[in-house]
Amino acid sequence: MIMGKIIIAGIGPGSQEDITPAVLEAVRQADAIVGYKYYFQFIEPYIKEHCECIDTGMKKERERAEQAFDLAEQDKTVVVISSGDAGIYGMAPLIYEMRKQRGTDIEICSLPGISAFQKAASLLGAPIGHDMCIISLSDLMTPWETIERRIKAAATADFVTAVYNPKSHERYWQLYRLQELFLQEHSGDTPVGYVRQAGREEQEVKVTTLAQFNPEDIDMFTVILIGNSQSYISDGKIITPRGYYGNPERGDRSQEKPGQLIMIQSFRTIAGELRKDYPLDHQWALLHAIHTTADFEMEDILYTDPGAVETLYNKIKDGTLRTIITDVTMVTSGIRKGALQRLGIEAKCYLSDPRVAELASSYGITRTQAGIRLAVEEHPDALFTFGNAPTALMELCDLIRKGKARPAGIIAAPVGFVHVKESKHMVKPFKDIPKIIVEGRKGGSNLAATLCNAVLTFDDAALLKPGRDL
pLDDT tens digits, residue range 253-290?
A: 445 678 888 998 899 899 989 998 899 999 999 999 99
Q: What is the pLDDT of residue 469?
A: 87
Helix (H), strand (E) counts: the chain: 17, 19
pLDDT at 1: 53
* pLDDT value, residue 360: 94
Q: For 194-206, what is the HEC assignment?
A: EEECCCCCCCEEE
Q: Among 169, 177, 207, 202, which residue's Cα sits nearest to residue 191?
A: 207
pLDDT digits (tens, 9 = 90+) for 85-132: 999 999 999 999 999 999 999 999 999 999 999 999 999 999 999 999
pTM: 0.57
Q: What is the dihedral sign for C-alpha 378, 381, 387, 388?
A: positive
Residue-level pLDDT at 151:
97
In the chain, % of residues over pLDDT 70: 97
Q: Got the DSSP string for 220-271?
A: TTEEEEE--TT-EEETTEEE---SSS--TTT---SS--HHHHHHHHHHHHHH
pLDDT tier at 462, thresholds 50, 70, 90: confident
Q: Are strands 232-234 and 237-239 parallel, antiparallel or unpaired?
A: antiparallel
Does residue 291 carry a catalytic annotation?
yes
DSSP bridge pairs for 224 = 163, 194
Q: Is 208 exposed, middle or buried (0-12, 13-18, 19+ CB in 10 A)?
A: middle
| Higher-pLDDT residue of 244, 394 | 394
Q: Give pLDDT, residue 125.
A: 97
What does pLDDT average to over the chain? 93
Q: Tell me, what DSSP letter sits at residue 17?
A: G
Q: What pLDDT, on a 0 to 100 scale, did the predictor assign at position 253? A: 47
Q: Is the pLDDT of residue 252 over 60?
A: no
Task: Using the predicted structure, report yes or no on whether residue 251 has a pLDDT greater than 70.
Answer: no
Q: Is the pLDDT of residue 193 over 90?
A: yes
Which residue of the set 50, 291, 419, 425 is catalytic? 291
Burial class (CB in 10 A: 0-12, 13-18, 19+), 272: exposed
Integer CA distances (angstroms), 135 to 178, 180, 282, 346, in order: 10, 15, 31, 47
> Going by DSSP bridges, is the β-strand pair 346-349/107-111 parallel, antiparallel, or unpaired?
unpaired
CA distances from 214 to 220, 223, 439 (A): 14, 14, 41
Work out the number of other CB atoms within 10 angstroms of the CB of residue 44.
11
